[in-house]
Amino acid sequence: MTMHPALAAGHHVLAARFGVVALSLAAAFLYAVTSVLQHGATQAVPSGRLLRPSLLAALVRQPRWLASHVVDATAYVLQFLALRAGSLVAVETLLVTGLLFALPLGAAASHRRPQRLDWLSTGAIVAGLGIFLVAARPVVGAGNTSRFGWVVTSVAVGVGIVGLVAVAERGPGRWRAPALGAASGALFALTAALAKASGHLLDRGLGHALGSWQPYALAALAIVGVVLSQSAFYAGPLQASLPMLTITEPLVAGAIGLAAFHEHVATHGLRAVGGAAAVIMLVGGIVGLSRSPLVIGPDVPAEESRPR
C-alpha cells in the first residue's frame, strides 16, 4: 500500500525537523561539557595572559583542555549537520539548552540538589524555547547569501566584536568576561552562518566546496573563536561570560539568518507577541540559571587575583 504523496511529504518534513532538533540538542549537551572543561582549565593558568598567544600555549599542556576539544569537535559536527537541514534561527536557539544540560552535570559533580531558582530558570528556558519555536515558526531560507550580503554581515559583526574586545581591554576589570563572552557569541554566530553556507556548497560536491572561500574563512575564524572564548573563560567566573555568550550567539545568528539568508519568522498578530514573550523568558531563564552554583561550580578567582 503506497502512501499519498501529500502525507509522504508531510512525514518527510516532520522527520527532517525531528532530526534537526535531535542534532541541535546533542550538540548543546556536548557544548555544555566543553564549556565546563575549558573554564576549569583556564582558571589554572597564571594571570597576565588575557588575549595573548601565551594563554593557548599554557592551555595546550593541560590534558583536560585537550580533551575538551575532542568533545567540542564532536559537538561542532552535530551542529554542522543540523545547520545543513535547519535554519540558523532554530538551530542556534536550540543550542541555548546547553545551560539546561549543565544543571544535572553540576548537580552530579557537586553532589548538590537544584534550588528553587534553578527549577524556575529551567522552566523559563524550556517554556521559552517551546513557545518561540511554535509561535515564531522559523522557516529555512537560502543555503548561502550574496557577496554583498557577506560583506555587510562580516563588517557589522566584525565591528561589534572589535568594539567588545576594546571594552574588555580598556574598560574596568569587571567588564572583561562579559564583553569577551559577548564577542565570542557574536563570532560563533558568524561561524555558524559560514558553516551553513559551507554545508550548502558541499551539497554540490567536495571540489565545489574546496574551490569556495567560505570553508577557509570558517577555519580561520574558528581559530580566532578559540582565542576569544578561552580569554572570556580566563577573565573571570563562568557566570560572568557564559550568559553573554549564550544570549549573544542566537540573537546575532538569528539576525544573520533573517537578514542575509532570508529565513522567516512569524511577525504578525499573536504569534509575534508570543515570540517576543518567549525571547524575554529565554533571556531571564539564561541569566538565572547561569548564576546557579550547579552550573558554574564553586566560586573561582577573577583574572586579576590569580597567582603570578
Q: Please state the three-class secondary structure of 235-299 as a single string.
A: CCCHHHHHHHHHHHHHHHHHHHHHHCCCCECCCCHHHHHHHHHHHHHHHHHHHHHHCCHHHHCCC
Could you tell me the pTM of the whole model? Answer: 0.82
The lowest-confidence range among 44-48, 153-157, 228-232 is 44-48
Mean pLDDT of 61-76: 90
pLDDT value, residue 16: 65
For 244-292, the pLDDT digits (tens) are: 888 889 889 989 998 999 998 877 888 888 888 988 988 888 888 777 7
pLDDT value, residue 283: 86
At 63, list the grid cell: 590534558
- Cα(first)–Cα(last) distance of the chain, in Å? 74
Q: Calculate the alpha carbon distances from 241 to 60, 119, 145, 296 in Å.
A: 21, 21, 31, 10
115 vs 91, residue with greater confidence:
91
193 vs 304, residue with greater confidence:
193
How is the chain split into domains, by residue range?
5-305
C-alpha–C-alpha distance, residues 62 and 42, integer Å: 9
Angle between helical axes of 269-290 and 238-259 (0-180°, round to 10): 160
pLDDT value, residue 155: 97
pLDDT value, residue 295: 64
pLDDT value, residue 307: 39
pLDDT value, residue 302: 44
What percentage of the chain carries pLDDT values higher than 90?
A: 30
**DSSP, residue by residue, the chain:** -PPPHHHHHHHHHHHHHHHHHHHHHHHHHHHHHHHHHHHHHHTTSPSS-TTSHHHHHHHTT-HHHHHHHHHHHHHHHHHHHHHHHS-HHHHHHHGGGHHHHHHHHHHHHHT----HHHHHHHHHHHHHHHHHHHHH--B---SS--HHHHHHHHHHHHHHHHHHHHHHHHS-GGGHHHHHHHHHHHHHHHHHHHHHHHHHHHTT-HHHHHTSSHHHHHHHHHHHHHHHHHHHHHTS-HHHHHHHHHHHHHHHHHHHHHHTS--B---SHHHHHHHHHHHHHHHHHHHHHHT-HHHH-S----GGGS--
Residue bearing cell 599554557: 58
183 vs 173, residue with greater confidence:
183
C-alpha–C-alpha distance, residues 66 and 217, integer Å: 23
For 182-222, the pLDDT digits (tens) are: 999 999 999 999 999 999 999 889 888 899 999 999 999 99
pLDDT value, residue 49: 73
pLDDT value, residue 213: 94
C-alpha–C-alpha distance, residues 124 and 278, integer Å: 9
